[in-house]
Structure 1
């Protein structure tokens, strides 16, 4: 839909959003799709601070009125309605008002595992009756923030925009008699086709559902941890990629229920074995056109927007042949410089849990712990993985992709505006280079340290405008403090018999 940044200032953000010129037609198109597909029930969903999918279900007969008025939930849903260690609701107390979530019709899609049900993503606003800023964008809405941050970036850089793809690793675990994890569904043999074959029914079910929900699946493999798969889908515009990663997680959770498995997105469930990363492959483009990819389906089981991909245009990360045959072009180098400049703060978003740092501390497993870049060099935090893109590696499977994409856009913006130079690419094994005397900054190695780096970085904090940073910081600092205040099995094993 058309950007709402240009809408009349006489309307509230909510009113302007609902009044967008083409929205009424999209609402009608969704009604036609509801009738065509026999949809009876719709999930209206938005994304919490941790990337959790939150919302309500409404009978499809109420589509038109809900499209106009939205659904209401307490503001605290943005922080999963969780309590901190002192018993306070994180972000918003029980006295706070209720947000209004307005559906985005172009994200409407049938659920392939129960075709009576559909889902639609929402943009969130402050309540219409709030005494201050009624109907304004809810700044604790990470998905809405990403859209607005990306639009602002495009306005300031002549249409330059982020396209990215993710590599979502996760593990398929068996259930024990108590329903808890009981090891991986396969052995930890990387790229082993026989292990991949053991999970073939799971893989094919995931791909079937993904195609039905607009994900153009491109490749997959068995990774080197028990039951660990990486199934990739085509890169696209930033917001659609984040929506698809979120959808992919929903699909995996459903397939796990169907096969009585556990879809594990925890970053590091097993020590001594690879963790679940979620590398981001990034590029900045001018131009291009949205095209519908029907993925071989006879009829689209959802709005066209779900099946659109941005194609063509100018990839500014490709090498400039007049300057180098291998290095990214100037915008690409400046963007790499921006990420390296802000890598410490970015780590608080890309490695967002206490468990994330088990991944960084488990040595010998290609952990991306240093702020350097190179070509196909997995010892660096960033690598040019192919001409025209680079891979940001300090991000794992628990990431909130909307926060991550917004923060990367801010890092790119700073790199471009300040013409930041990332230096020469490192071709050596970075660990050996450091032993030879190279000085390289290290990533923060705990959630507490990363949050401190984030607090000191105004550029990356600007990716969390308004209330977003307050809610995120509160939630994550509480998580860190709860960990520090908890006695674990490790404590008992380490200290129970140490004296006398």
Structure 2
């Protein structure tokens, strides 16, 4: 890192008045871990980074037998190197700042010293995106639509039985203090907030403008932290659980993607065509996504609860690998010219992994000129449980190898274990069904 960059970020932090910095790294389970360091040590940390226990990227998850997944007590630490352009001052406490890090093997590990840490999903997404740019001259942009549920006495809606409260101004007004505070913090952190609506009981969706996938993924992770902070301030709960209530809308996180060439042209639309359509490049991208969709579900819908979205009919959750023109029943909806809305990712998604696979599937589609079926044609069924998604992921060599082998292996082990834990859990449904079923 050149001296000018070091001096620039040092001065920026000093001018901001930030006293402490969170050195942040996303985990595979879509959380973030961090070390807190006094801000005065920024120059030292730009040079040496900060060390983390390797298990941190797996959230210290153990399998059903109590064994650590992805790393153990003998595993070596990794080094997190801060990225100066990701520095932000937290608007709810201006003495605190945050900076994202990319992670590497430490210098003392011989032959692998300095290599990227294979479990770093954020860094992998950046590498995958760069490959797309290098091979095809195309940049992926994305806008996400994070839905979530807010619960608390002060915001409890009084709804009419049998009616959905979606879009009603009265219920949006009840959430006014919440969305205003979220917007305040998001705008202070560089978001361009554009619109929002009330979708179901306590569920709102607040959107910001689309951008290159690196910025969009970082903003989604930041948005979740903003919502958690706002919930603390208003003494309510904020949840990104994909399906908290049966009979009500699940919490999706649609990814609206497009590919832009080096001249700044959106390649998903044909110049001069006003009718709703998808260009040839866009069709190939959709073909690549549909071909690999069943295997990508382990990333898009990554929890046991994710699949409850697809078992609740009439709630706008697509269950087949298909596409359509402004068709909300489809997995991919061409909602306007130049944009493909991938509707299966949910609110718990790791946006670095999801965008990595979308970029890889796009490259597969373009490189192999994969034609999708006709718009509106019924596609193959998508996995309906986490266990099914594990097997689909395991059986798709292209998707497995689109991720670093160590990352794919660890992620697969984590999700197999999650499914095993769920299968071994007793639920109230089982007691209701079987407690007095015989005689």
TM-score of Structure 1 vs Structure 2, range by shorter chain: over 0.9
Could you tell me how far apart the structure 2 residues matched to 1:332 and 1:98 are? 42
What TM-score do you get using the length of structure 2 for normalisation?
0.96
- Is 1:335 the counterpart of 2:285? The answer is yes
Q: In structure 1, which of residues 410, 421, 445 is the aligned counterpart of residue 384 of structure 2?
A: 445
- Is 1:499 the counterpart of 2:435? The answer is no
Q: In structure 1, which of residues 105, 120, 126 is the aligned counterpart of residue 105 of structure 2?
A: 126
- Cα distance change, pair 458–186 in 1 and its aligned pair in 2 (3 A): farther
CA contact (8 A) 2:22 2:37 kept: yes
Q: What is the SS of the residue equivalent to 2:191?
A: coil
CA contact (8 A) 2:155 2:174 kept: no
Aligned position for 1:284: 259
1:471, distance to aligned residue in structure 2 (A) = 1.4
Aligned position for 1:195: 171
Q: In structure 1, which of residues 138, 160, 166 is the aligned counterpart of residue 144 of structure 2?
A: 166
Aligned position for 1:61: 40
Aligned pair count reads: 435
- Mark the runs of 5 or more structure 2 residues left unpaired by the alignment: none
Q: In structure 2, which of residues 405, 411, 416 is the aligned counterpart of residue 466 of structure 1?
A: 405
The 5 A counterparts of 1:216-227 are 216-224=192-200, 226-227=201-202
1:366, distance to aligned residue in structure 2 (A) = 1.5
Aligned position for 1:5: none
Tell me the alpha carbon deviations over residues 354-396 of structure 1, each in whole angstroms, 9 at most, x when there is no partner. 0001001111112111111111101111110110011001110
- Is 1:99 the counterpart of 2:78? The answer is yes
Q: In structure 1, which of residues 232, 249, 254 is the aligned counterpart of residue 224 of structure 2?
A: 249
CA contact (8 A) 1:173 1:185 kept: no
CA contact (8 A) 1:174 1:185 kept: no
The 5 A counterparts of 1:390-409 are 390-409=340-359
Aligned position for 1:144: 123
The 5 A counterparts of 1:3-18 are none
Q: In structure 2, which of residues 51, 59, 63 is the aligned counterpart of residue 80 of structure 1?
A: 59
- Cα distance change, pair 320–334 in 1 and its aligned pair in 2 (3 A): farther
Aligned position for 1:308: none
Aligned position for 1:412: 362
Aligned position for 1:207: 183
CA contact (8 A) 1:163 1:284 kept: yes
CA contact (8 A) 1:238 1:405 kept: yes
Tell me the alpha carbon deviations over residues 35-88 of structure 1, each in whole angstroms, 9 at most, x when there is no partner. 111110000001000110111010001010011111111111110012111101
CA contact (8 A) 2:157 2:171 kept: no
Q: What is the SS of the residue equivalent to 1:119?
A: strand
- Cα distance change, pair 131–496 in 1 and its aligned pair in 2 (3 A): farther
Tell me the alpha carbon deviations over residues 379-431 of structure 1, each in whole angstroms, 9 at most, x when there is no partner. 111110110011001110000000000000110000001111112211xxxxx
Aligned position for 1:476: 415
What TM-score do you get using the length of structure 1 for normalisation?
0.85
Q: What is the SS of the residue equivalent to 2:152?
A: strand
Q: What is the SS of the residue equivalent to 1:314?
A: coil
Q: What is the SS of the residue equivalent to 2:250?
A: coil
Aligned position for 2:11: 32
1:258, distance to aligned residue in structure 2 (A) = 0.2
Q: In structure 1, which of residues 398, 420, 423 is the aligned counterpart of residue 373 of structure 2?
A: 423
Aligned position for 1:318: 269
